[in-house]
Amino acid sequence: MTPRVAGVLVLLLRLVLGAIFIVAGVSKIGHAIEFAQQIAAFRLLPQPVIAPMALALPFLEVLLGGYLVLGLFTRISAWISAALLLAFDGAIASAVVRGLTLSCGCFGPNDKSVTTWGEVGRDAIFVLLAVIVALRPPGALALDRKIGNAS
């Protein structure tokens, strides 16, 4: 694969992942109570963590998505995205194993997706895509190239 093709491929992966994070985050902003209920339903986190997470996580998702789309702090954003997606994937897999059919909470209160092995597989693919972005130079049209952070 030529460096140019690889750069375009990384750009496309950045845009897909960035858009997913932006849409997911924006769809949860303003719905902290519903999102907190969805988080609590997984029965994985202590109660005092749930409300702050429900408030902060959507903004983190939008921030990461924006960084990925812009190609700014690309590698660290991609690694954080991969870790976050892996955590989401683990939570969904845990629910499936425990026989819980829950709203995954992925795209806000109107998201009808439930915890299934299909959701686990989808998130596993997203983890893989984020790792690919993290391991490669930031790709075409990345702001990291403009600021000399493209190694």
What pLDDT does residue 151 have? 61
pLDDT in tens, 45-102: 999 999 999 999 999 999 999 999 999 999 999 999 999 999 999 999 999 999 999 9
pLDDT in tens, 103-115: 888 888 888 888 9
DSSP letter for 98, please. T
The rounded radius of gyration (Å) of the Cα atoms in the chain is 16
Q: How far is C-alpha 35 from the chain's CA centre?
A: 15
In this predicted structure, the answer to whether residue 149 has a pLDDT above a threshold of 80 is: no
Do 21 and 123 touch, CB atoms closer than 8 A? no
What pLDDT does residue 94 have? 96
* Strand locations in 13-146 (E): none
What pLDDT does residue 59 have? 98
Token readout for 13 is 């992966």
Mean pLDDT on 23-28:
96
How far, in Å, CA of 29 to CA of 56, rounded? 9
Tell the residue number behind the tokens 């790792």, with chain if given.
131
